[in-house]
């Protein structure tokens, strides 16, 4: 076993956990976290590939590493947008259910 393989498998497991959470979690915030776990798993897979591509005196291939940096910043921007949407929905309706059935009557905000 090498570090690349261990963290590659860890990334694969994270993708699995993320997919599971994305399907079963009832709360949108939890789905958002699950989506981030899924993305984090993919980033770790990139990291494993980068580590295997070590050469030329570098510990890892810089191209996938740079792609992961770009991906992390885009992921946090998207997460912030999603959280803002979620809070706005909560303010407007008092609920953030993603179900199709009609939501319970909105409660007055405290």
Partner 1 sequence: MSLLFDIVLSLIVVALAVRVIVAEDGFAAVVSFAAYGLLVALAWVRLYAADVSLTEVAISGGLAGMLLIGAASRLRAIDARAAAQRSGRGVRLFAALLSCGVAGGLGLAVLALPDPAPSLAEAAVANLPPTGVGNPVTAVLMAFRATDTLLETVVVVLALVGVWSLAPDRLWGGRPGAREHADPNGPLAFLARVLPPIGVVVAVYLLWAGASEPGGAFQGGAILAATWLLVIMAGLSDAPATHGHGLRWLLVAGPLLFLAVGFAGIWLADAFLAYPTDWAKALIVAVEVAKLLSVAAALGLLLLGPPRRIDTP
> Within positions 34 to 73, which residues make up the interface with partner 1, using CB under 8 A?
34, 36-37, 40-41, 43-45, 47-63, 65-70, 72-73
Phi, then psi, of 107 in degrees rounded to 5: -90, 150
Choose between 85 and 102: whose C-beta lies nearer to partner 1.
85
Closest approach, Cβ 22 to partner 1, in A, equals 8
**Alpha-carbon gap, residue 31 to 63, rounded angstroms:** 30
Q: Does 106 bind partner 1 (CB under 8 A)?
A: no
| Size of residue set near partner 1 by CB under 8 A | 82
DSSP H/E element including 32: helix 28-52
Residue with tokens 């259910």: 97
């Amino acid at each position: 076993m090498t570090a690349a393989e261990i963290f590659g498998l860890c990334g694969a497991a994270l993708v699995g956990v993320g997919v599971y959470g994305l399907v079963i979690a009832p709360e949108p915030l939890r789905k958002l976290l699950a989506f981030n776990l899924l993305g984090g798993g993919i980033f770790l897979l990139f990291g494993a590939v980068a580590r295997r591509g070590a050469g030329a005196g570098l510990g890892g291939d810089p191209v996938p590493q740079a792609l992961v940096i770009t991906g992390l910043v885009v992921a946090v921007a998207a997460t912030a947008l999603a959280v803002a949407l979620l809070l706005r929905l909560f303010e407007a309706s008092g609920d953030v259910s993603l179900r199709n059935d009609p939501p319970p009557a909105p409660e007055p905000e405290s």
